[in-house]
Structure 1
Amino acid sequence: MLTDEYVKRVYAQVEQRDGDQKEFLQAVREVFETIEPVFKDHPQYEAAGVLERLVEPERVVKFRVPWVDDEGHVQVNRGYRVQFNSAIGPYKGGLRFHPTVTEAVIKFLGFEQIFKNSLTGLPMGGGKGGSDFNPKGRSDAEVMRFCQSFMTELQRHIGQFTDVPAGDINVGAREIGFLFGQYKRLRNEFSGVLTGKGLEFGGSLTRTEATGYGLCYYTQEALRVLRNDSFEGKTVVVSGSGNVAIFAIEKATALGAKVVTASDSNGYVYDPNGIDLDVLKDIKLNKRGRISEYAERVDGATYFEGCRGVWSVKCDIALPCATQNEIDGTEAQMLVDNGCTVVCEGSNMPSTPDAIEVYQNNNVLYGPAKAANAGGVAVSGLEMSQNSYRLSWTFDEVDARLKGIMEEIVANSLDAAKKYGDEGDLMQGANIAGFIKVADAMVAQGII
């Protein structure tokens, strides 16, 4: 329930303007409900119209992306870039290529990115982009032609001091390489305009692993501080099988857990012996295959149709790493009934409001996405720094910085929760800690 009159008024304006954008409204309401206590101590935020400006992107770019497939047919997709807030640094956020991409999805992701980037402690504003193009099943040549057409328009709006995109769902090393090449060709400059680049042309060690590793560093630190516990000996359920999921599985296993699931959009696999990372990486990173192949190659593993069934598997810790709203209230209750006591989010907004209510009512340690999955953008920020210095740090150096950032996010979230709300509430703490830094910068810079 919203109780503060200022917050209620601004949310009503958002509903009136963007009532058809359900993902964006969901993201805004979650933040608004948790930051209400801040306004009693900071009346300057209302006077400066911080909330009214915060929910309105500084810029929304929508464009046509024409390209030619291998049969010579012209295809047309939609491209988006939402530059949401630059109060603390250049816009920063990934590009997502997926059929579900709409302006509403990109807006919710960009809004979340404001707070996520703020929490890292690095000077990065919030942005997001993408297209409804689906690279799955497309040849390398088709993906290249699409990426070149996409970047031909996007390059007008980005730059290393303006907006620095990265990868997201279905935008990996191949796509980033094609996008960077076209940017360099059009602008005749070699700059750190994209992150997630190949190591040969300005990429950072640990970037591929960063979101999954960071998720586990965050979870481990939250367990240590709040439960005097760790991953050691725990059974973990992970959804997804992209970079985030794969490297979350890798790090959780290294920390002593047994991860028993992975999934894709068609279904999930259950391996009671623990996921075989070599097989999973070969299927997903090398062959870009389907998760069902895992059960065909690993004795004892079973494949199940329907990806959401993964939440019926008994576990101690759940790490959702697939997509938004992948856990609803019913599935959250299923997790609780099966003994799950920890949910930390690797994907963006994977839990519906009903699911979060279940976590809170059952004393589940809940790590929200904007905090728990900030490792990816944190190392993207470190890649930007390395590009500016024209040098490369070692894997261990970047990994140590990542671990420190994730532990600091836990500490800052708990400090904010203790000061303004419920002690130990990581969701409220993350929202407040991320918001205050951005709000103070907005007030200082005037009404812009």
Structure 2
Amino acid sequence: MSAPSQTPSRAPLGATPKMDAAPLSPPWMTGRRKLVLALLLGAQFMIAVDFSILNVALPVVGEGLGFALAGLQRIATAFALAAAGFTRLFGRVADLVGRKRLFVGGMIVLGLSSALGGPATSPEVLLTDLLSWRWAFFVNVPVAALVVALAPFVITDSRPAERPRLDVPGAATVTGGLLLLVYGLTQAGATGWTTPTTLAALLAGIALLIGFWFVEKRAAAPLGPVRILKRRSVIRGNATGLIAFVTETSLVFLLTLYLQEVLGYSLLATGLAFGVLGIGTVIGGTLGGRAVGRFGNRTTIVTGGVVQAAATLSLVALGTSGTWIWLLPAATFIGGVGNRLMIVGFMVTATSGLPDEEQGLATGLATMTQQVGITLGIPVMSAVATARMAALGDTCPDGVLSGVAVAILVNSALVPAGALLAGAFLGGRRAEWVAVTPS
């Protein structure tokens, strides 16, 4: 006996089809999630303000606290150095003590340190034109207080099911190595590359970073995922990212010296001069994903590097009279577009084509590369500029301009060298989908 037919009956023409009632799902961005996002953006705003405003205010801060011109970079470098050395470690600490607790605790420390830095009267205490440079610190205090007050009621705590292990030896070697390397580079600019202090610091820093490699190979829960460095795309992608962050961050520092020490610009005028750089990076980030999808990683990286290098090289034409000042916003805008193309290509290259279990490791390594690049860029270029000024025995506007010009030449040479080297060994495959959030 055959089974009854399961063919559905058809509704008469013109009849409205009957639909089962189903509750509408709530929107993904609820009010609570919007508030959480606002708190996280507020925290990120504080970090961006600290680094960006201080970078522009360095000459005035140094004048107010008695920093020598060669030592200005230590202010910005101290901030980036801590981020490079401790980001991965505190990510692991958050898994241990809870992410909400660490977030609130970190905001308290940041707010207190900003309150301490504002009234600083000497370089030892420190580790805006309209009000004063001190407001670069004080602006963080009310934001931190608001975030700390709201976070316990808005953010829910979370931690992994398994208790992770802390990689203290890894954190100690990478942080110590970066610290000594930065100190050696700073000394090289002030006293020369062959002095005992410089050589000892550089060699000790390199030794610790090599030691970090071997520590991580044997660590049960390594901070630095060195095993994925066996993949060529990861190595070459991170090499590209390192160069991109070293060159662009340090260029802002060099141009800050030029605008304030050579042309005598105020803090407000300096900040406005760099506004177009931010616009360029936004546009470059928008175009970067499309460029990778259409032309591939290699073409995007090489094109971005050539554009950034050409724009940077043109800045050598800047002089003491300010006649060519229009070149600065034009070149930084174009260079910002090129730099962001490199960064998007770096992120895609360094994290694509990997199995799911290695995606988190690759992303963590890319984040560390970003922080290391920011950390090393300013002291490297500062050492070049300072060495030139020391050779001339001149820290007047002409001497500062000469030092800045030499450092800009080195900066512009690094970009195409790194981009072309990375591009020569990368495949030209197009990415089907790209999701990148540049810093």
Question: Under a length normalisation based on structure 1, what TM-score does the superposition of the two structures give?
Answer: 0.25
Higher share in strand: 1
**Bigger relative contact order, structure 1 or 2 (CA pairs below 8 A, ≥6 apart):** 2
Higher share in helix: 2
